[in-house]
Structure 1
Amino acid sequence: MGRWRYVVLTFWYSFLFSTVLIYFTHFHNSPQKTRQQPSFLYSLRSNSLGRLFAEQDYVSLESLQKRFSGLSISRVFRTIAGEESSRAYIEDIVISGKEEDVNKLLANATFMNGDGEVEVKVIEKVNVPVTATVDATTVDYVHDNHTVKPTPPPPVPGYENIKDGETLRLHCDFCAVVASSGHLVNSSAGPEIDRYPCVIRMNSATTVNFEIDVGQKTDIRVIGMVNMKDLKNHTEWQDELFRNESTKASKIIVPWLYNSAIDKETDEYYLIAKEFAEIYPATEVVLLTPDKMKTAEDIFKAEVGISRKEAKTWLTTGWMTMLFAIDVCDAIDVFGLAQDNHCLLHPNDTTPYHYYEPDGKTECSYYKVSEEKLTQGHKFITEKAVFERWANKHTISFLYPHWHASSNKMNKTLETPF
């Protein structure tokens, strides 16, 4: 009896020990599977046609994150075309977490703009890890611990990196082209401008101390080659354009304004641009190919009726900027560009030529003198009439001042000084 009791107890203890060992080695020490919680892509849309989503007008994601700490909240800014060629914005908010927590958030958070409550719609519901992130330029998610990379931007023929000759790769769904005009003074357009996926500015137009009216975000600078020398001589401009994380551009486009052939051994503007590319490697310095520059001149002749040389003028930085924007942007909002007849309708207008020189020359007086010179000077008024034509061919809108392009000018001969 004692022997059998010993055998049974031995077997029982062995079984118990094996069970405990299996538990600790298999269940306790093995990695646990991460439970994936649903993520919801919400779209905040507004039917209003004015400025939307200014920083003070809607609840911030930071405050939501503090109030609902169990949720992962991120944001993607996108845009859609609104009615009558105006723009309505979409603020996509990706929320990861339990469905009841997501619903609780929406029930307790009100998203507002200047004209009232914003419509909230669920765009998509997907299963992703709670730690999912969103690429800043897409709505691609992190699936199964690997990032779904967006398709590389397409090449843009006619634009080449000054260092290696590689063709520029860039595509923007929606661009803000910010003119340097005084029409932006006291506009408070800065927060709106900074929310565009791509912001294009011209030359060395500063944003420092003018952020409320013109914003500070800059993705691309188009700098006419003659301005390279001034940029080299002003280190504070270089700080803003190349060093300051809040204002620097990722790409500098340098068009030649009066010829299509560049002597890369002796041209001082080319050598300065190349020097900038070496000093500031994080910024891509891009030149136009000779064919692209010739195309810009051909377009001028086709629109105006005579060649640039016959007109005894240069192409403006604004002209080259608009052509560039048409090449890379699906839709364009131009800030600060008045209609070609603005000064005719407002002969006593005192709007400054540049927003950053409020006490300088006025726009209308300078335009009048420049337009009427038949031996030199930019033809700004003629140029604006051409831009209005382009707005009928492409998705281009004009803001601050806001005006609609007239289709009546499409088949009419432009009134020019030539």
Structure 2
Amino acid sequence: MRLRFVDKQWQQGQRMVIYGAVFLIMTLLILYSSNSSNELYSPFRDKDFHHAVKHTNLKKWAGKEGYLPVYGNKSMTLHCHRCALVTSSSHVLGTQAGEEIDRTECVIRMNDAPTSGYESDVGNRTSVRIVAHSSVFRVVRKPAEFLNRSESPAIIFWGPSSKIGRDAKGTLYRLIHRVSMTFSNLAFFVVSPSKMLKFDTLFQKETGQDRKKSQSWLSTGWFTMVIAIEMCDNIKVYGMVPPSHCGKHPQPKRMPYHYYKPRGPDECITYLQNERGRRGSHHRFITEKQVFARWAKMYNITYTNPTW
């Protein structure tokens, strides 16, 4: 009986050793995978860009035919000498830049960023608003803020054709079409499927990363910056932080991601989590900003609040 007991103990010990070895190997694999993913999705360094990118002349790349009117036969022909691109970042708060923004020839805004109640910092005029498919409902449910304006701005919707394409005939497209018929003073456009592919190709050329393979979603900021370059000779960007901002030591103070959502998520946490995210698709905000920094020298772009 004693021999059997010792033999049983020895077998149990062997199993424990095997389990321990398997656990160790799995842990190492997870760590390796994590490190590899962080390296893949970490912001590109300048030297990486020089080897990876193929520069695109966005003035020649631009194609106004890529913006399809939702209702009627309007065309996207807006051209401005000077533009103010107002971000949704809380860095615009307290800047008192509203009057300067409103004096600018064309003012570009994103998604459902409001002006009411924030006029002293972000101004009140809107010439073009770029809206992601995920923000359509938030925009159209507040017509007094976004649609009933004396100025006649253009509103450009971007998203997968399955969501907002003419052939989709889904809820979003029907909603956009109905709103465009109701507010005929506004010019509503959707980015064409071929133009959407060009935005993807541009991201790959400028970063060396395939958007889909790297599990990335382009941000509204990416679309807005490219559209601004297409239509503007000079661009002043308000509230966008530089690509190195969230990597500072000590960490920057907490700032809400959106200026109109003071209790919303922290900006830097949002940027870093998206940049390093491995499961599911994420925006690569910091990588995009590294591209924007390079574009500044090519397309007369200046950044303020903060200054780059």
TM range, smaller chain: 0.7 to 0.9
2:293 to 384, 388, 401: 388
2:131 is matched with 223
2:71 to 150, 163, 180: 163
- In structure 1, distance between residues paired with 2:214 and 2:168: 29
1:197 to 105, 115, 124: 105
1:309 to 205, 212, 234: 212
Count the aligned residue pairs.
244
CA spacing shift, 1:350–1:220, aligned 2, 3 Å = same
- In structure 2, distance between residues paired with 1:172 and 1:221: 15
Higher strand proportion (structure 1 or 2): 1
- In structure 1, distance between residues paired with 2:139 and 2:269: 27
Shift of 1:391: 1.1
Shift of 1:263: 5.2
1:337 is matched with 240
1:283 aligns with 2:191: no
Does structure 2 conserve the Cα–Cα contact (< 8 Å) formed by 1:258 and 1:315? Answer: no
Tell me how large the CA RMSD over aligned residues is: 2.0
- In structure 2, distance between residues paired with 1:401 and 1:367: 16
Relative contact order, higher structure (CA 8 A, sep 6+):
2
CA spacing shift, 1:390–1:277, aligned 2, 3 Å = same
Letter in 2 for 1:206: P
> What is the aligned-residue identity percentage?
34
Does structure 1 conserve the Cα–Cα contact (< 8 Å) formed by 2:161 and 2:168? Answer: no
1:243 is matched with 148
1:364 is matched with 268
1:376 is matched with 281
Unaligned runs of 5+ in 2: 1-62
Letter in 1 for 2:90: G
TM-score by length of 1: 0.55
Letter in 1 for 2:158: P
- In structure 2, distance between residues paired with 1:341 and 1:365: 13
Higher helix proportion (structure 1 or 2): 2
Letter in 1 for 2:223: M
1:349 aligns with 2:253: yes
- In structure 2, distance between residues paired with 1:217 and 1:191: 10
CA spacing shift, 1:330–1:289, aligned 2, 3 Å = same
Does structure 1 conserve the Cα–Cα contact (< 8 Å) formed by 2:132 and 2:159? Answer: yes
1:112 is matched with none
CA spacing shift, 1:259–1:330, aligned 2, 3 Å = farther
2:304 is matched with 399
Unaligned runs of 5+ in 1: 1-154, 404-418
Query: 1:285 aligns to what SS in structure 2?
Result: strand
CA spacing shift, 1:263–1:309, aligned 2, 3 Å = farther
- In structure 1, distance between residues paired with 2:194 and 2:74: 16
Shift of 1:229: 2.5
Deviation by residue 1:133-159 (Cα, 9 ceiling, x = unmatched): xxxxxxxxxxxxxxxxxxxxxx83322
Shift of 1:227: 1.1
1:173 is matched with 81
Instruction: State how 1:53-132 maps to structure 2 within 5 Å.
Output: none
1:186 aligns with 2:89: no
Larger-Rg structure = 1
Query: 2:303 aligns to what SS in structure 1?
Result: strand
Deviation by residue 1:357-403 (Cα, 9 ceiling, x = unmatched): 22322111111111111232211111111111111221111011111
Shift of 1:287: 1.5
- In structure 1, distance between residues paired with 2:188 and 2:74: 11
2:156 to 243, 247, 253: 253
Deviation by residue 1:3-34 (Cα, 9 ceiling, x = unmatched): xxxxxxxxxxxxxxxxxxxxxxxxxxxxxxxx
2:36 is matched with none
